[in-house]
A and B are shown apart, each in its own frame.
Chain A
């Protein structure tokens, strides 16, 4: 089934009876070439690119819940490529380029909207840092525009520019950044993978990883044992538990990050606005809700819901930045579980077990990475070699100290990111 404008018209005129399920809800077979543990955004995009780029279609994606029910459905949908350090810079640049062709590639409307992201700064020193970051982004081939105070005012007239603590000096604009419909990303990749023969198996929790003489041979699941010569762990949020099944301890601590959405409003916020000093960022969904969030609750958690102190902090930051937000009513809040790595950057790598691959540590930046992560992970699993865009996401960088990617410059230590 192909989606097109004509198809929408035809279905509309014939009672919408021709739509089909977007992917097959498969039952597990006894053996696959590749098993991907985790049917989130990264797992599904890995499956899709394994099939599309590498011709590997004897692949199963095992999801303990349902597709799109984990972090890919619990984020704030922001897509950007404004990283500074080599390693992150080329990776997120690659991912953003994939986003730009994603809807045509998947034949699926993921509502990718390049509405621009503005990161605010509030001092001369922060301005220098924004210039430096903008230059790094442009050197990478991406877009960055430095806005002065009046430039920000033209885009965001509703901000409180004269906040006593954080007066707005300007902002760094990335016009190609924006948002996408998170659920549709999961569904689109699931559909694309399923069409190419990948089995997407829901309600199938992996309970063990079978290893024989240093080589992976398959997995145990709640729906029976499944054999495979290659197994990819793509379960950010639960990485420590799944890796422990293979006897591994990871450099990961899980934290809860909260997000909030208001009632639907008429269009009022046309960009993604990041207020780093207040740990606050916001955009408006196509449905009209203001979607915003803040910082981690800052203690290890798997609760997928947050505590009130951070709720209060986020609301205060929102009020300080844009007082008009006080007129909107918050409808819902939720929490997602972040794989926090010591340096704040992810891992896409082999493990010491032959045939076992690891994709984890996305901290609070996993959503925008979905296409790039799947592309790179598929390359790694299919060829055994890292993709050049993700070549620095080595697991051993913590042990050796070589190639740490600490964007914040605070140190590669757990409680600092």
Chain B
């Protein structure tokens, strides 16, 4: 699996650290109800197919990336900087 970093170009998967579902971009407010935090920390759609997850280009430019990917085929469909994606509705 290779991931095309918007800053560094196409790189080996080993340069990147996987954080998990891109739900991390929608952190609830500090005073949000416990259910919202439970959903954010624990519950996942976990699709078999296209998903968006968050990766960190640890051995490259240290950018946080949102990778659109197919979990059934390992195909990488798109990569964007998390700073550009943050706050956009899923």
Contacts and interface: CB of A to CB of B under 8 A. Distances in A.
A249 B45 contact: yes
A250 B72 contact: no
B1 A251 contact: no
A251 B18 contact: no
Contact of B19 (A241, A307, A309, A415): A415
Contact of B21 (A238, A244, A414): A414
Given A302-B71, A415-B18, A252 B46 contact: yes
Interface residues of B, number: 27
Contact of A299 (B46, B53, B72): B53
Nearest to A415: B20
Contacts of A251: 42-44
B42 A342 contact: yes
Contact of A254 (B14, B34, B46, B53): B46
B14 A342 contact: no
B18 A307 contact: no
A301 interface: yes
B86 interface: no
B48 A238 contact: yes
B64 to A, nearest CB: 14
A53 interface: no
Interface in A86-141: none
A253 interface: yes
Nearest to B16: A299
A163 B27 CA distance: 44
Contacts of A298: 18
- Between A252, A299, A301, the greatest number of chain B beta carbons within 10 A of the residue's beta carbon is seen for A299
Contacts of A250: 43-44, 46
B39 to A, nearest CB: 7
A399 B42 CA distance: 8
Nearest to A239: B46
Contacts of A244: 45
Interface string A377-417: 00000000000000000000011000000000000111100
A249 B71 contact: no
B41 to A, nearest CB: 7
Interface of A: 238, 240-241, 244, 249-254, 298-303, 307, 309, 342, 398-399, 412-415
Interface of B: 1, 12-14, 18-21, 34-35, 38-39, 41-48, 51, 53, 69, 71-74
The 5 A-B residue pairs with the shortest CB-CB distance in the complex, in nearest-first order: A240-B46, A251-B42, A249-B43, A398-B42, A302-B48
5 contacts: A249-B44, A252-B44, A299-B69, A414-B44, A415-B20
